[in-house]
Amino acid sequence: MRYFTAVMLIVLIVSLNWAYRGKNTWDDYIDRKIELNKLQKDIKSLRDRNSLLEKDIEDLNGGIDGIEESARSELGYVREGESFIRVTDKSGY
């Protein structure tokens, strides 16, 4: 009985050692959990960005109004007969 207890104690110590120092340990689990949370946040931001791009595509496919709005905001498009006025904030100086 004494040998059995000693062997079981050694097996327990070796098992605990593997659990803390081997492959797929608690630290590995925590690292993977942190990485998973970061990747889930990245995926959410990319999905939000994709939905905005899809809305932009729908606007551009919708006709001239969407294209004109995009050209005005991004390229400074001005129609013939219109005047472009830029308003700036004085606190920016």
pLDDT by residue (tens digit) across 13-67?
A: 888 877 777 777 778 889 999 999 999 999 999 999 999 999 888 877 877 777 7
Question: In Å, what is the CA distance from 41 to each residue of 34, 36, 47, 54, 61?
Answer: 11, 9, 10, 20, 30
Q: How confident is the model at residue 92 (pLDDT cuts 50, 70, 90)?
A: low
Token representation of residue 16: 């605990």
- Model confidence at 93: pLDDT above 60: no
Q: What pLDDT score was predicted for residue 51?
A: 96
Can you give the pLDDT at residue 8?
92
CA end-to-end span of the chain: 88
Query: What's this model's pTM, rounded to 2 decimal places?
Result: 0.52
